[in-house]
Amino acid sequence: MFIPADGLYQDLLNNKVGSLKINQRDLVSYAYQKKVMIVSPMSLFPMLQVTNKALNNMKVEESINEIQMNIEKLGNHLNAYLTYHEKLGNSISTVVNQYNVTNKEFKKLIRI
């Protein structure tokens, strides 16, 4: 809530609201309980800057969470690729071994 005069704002900060001592209450605390921030001309711009910074930090945090999820997905894909790559390597080794065996047998035939 914007109070357009610094004097009124100071009065709100220094004085209690209510007619009886039992019922007196700090208006700033009451406003805060109701999720209302009371600002003066001197505190409006800093309050807006703090709010803007908080919103930017929330956006950065959301981006960080998204990046972490994407890194996790990339890790899963790399693990799957590693499995297939190892299977391919084993298959290639088997093919090379079979080639060498058949090549030796073929060379035996040529010598005859």
4 and 38 in contact (C-beta within 8 Å)?
no
pLDDT band at residue 108 using 50, 70 and 90 as cut-offs: confident
Under 8 Å CB-to-CB from 31, ≥6 apart: which residues? 1, 37, 38
- Reported pTM: 0.52
d(CA 72, CA 78): 10
pLDDT in tens, 61-80: 999 999 999 999 999 999 99
Note the pLDDT of residue 14.
78
d(CA 25, CA 38): 15
pLDDT in tens, 14-61: 776 655 554 556 777 788 888 988 888 888 999 999 999 999 999 999
Q: Is the pLDDT of residue 97 over 80?
A: yes
d(CA 83, CA 64): 29
